[in-house]
Amino acid sequence: MTSIELTAMMKKSPSTCHKALVTEYGRYVYAIVYNKLRGCGTIEDIEECVSDVFADIFMKCEFDLSYDNDIKYLIATIAKRKAIDSFRILMAKANYIIDTDDDDMRELVSDFNVDERVDRSELRRVLLEKIDELGEPDSTILIQKFYYNRNSMEIAQSVSMTSVAVRQRCARAIEKLRTKLMKIGMTA
């Protein structure tokens, strides 16, 4: 959802805009908040923080109409900051003092990062969507080449083309894909 779409939807019907925003970004915000509060808060604390994130978005944000890209990064920033604030409040209520020099705490830290995982998942979804927009046989060629790691000869057999034609179509499809990704603000 872009800021232009969001503003148009907000003018039409604020409640519809709020529902659409929560539907599209609810899981993403929940994942960010959960990652920050999972060690110190209850499920209620996490859900309250998620609600606070959307309340901040609805009440405080002015969307830049010249910004035609996805507002996901703005929402992620608000969610991270709100979750950090909630973490501090929860830790203060519990009278915890976090000692960063404690070796025992380092063993408890997980290398699993929900934020990065969600970002990668979103990137894959957008990439597959744009590949699908290329149409046949370009989408099939790219999927087989980059997802299934097949060579031109194997791909040529499955799409009934010569391996030379597959390589040419692949090169052109990559350029088309690069153009589509640049239009939505994604660069390599």
Domain ranges of the chain: 3-109, 117-183
The pLDDT score that the predictor gives to residue 96 is 53
Q: What kind of architecture, by CATH, is found in domain 3-109?
A: Orthogonal Bundle (1.10)
Cα separation, 45 vs 52, in Å, equals 10
Cα separation, 114 vs 41, in Å, equals 16
pLDDT in tens for each of the 188 residues of the chain? 666 777 777 778 778 878 888 888 888 888 888 888 877 878 888 889 888 888 887 776 655 545 556 677 778 888 888 888 888 888 887 765 555 444 444 444 455 566 666 667 777 888 888 888 888 888 888 888 888 888 888 888 888 889 899 899 889 988 988 888 888 777 65
Cα separation, 178 vs 124, in Å, equals 14
The pLDDT score that the predictor gives to residue 152 is 87
Does the domain made of 117-183 have the CATH classification 3.40.50.300?
no
Q: Tell me the whole-structure pTM to 2 decimals.
A: 0.49
Instruction: State the amino acid at position 185 in one-letter form.
Output: G
Coil, strand or helix: which one is 97? Answer: coil
The pLDDT score that the predictor gives to residue 108 is 47
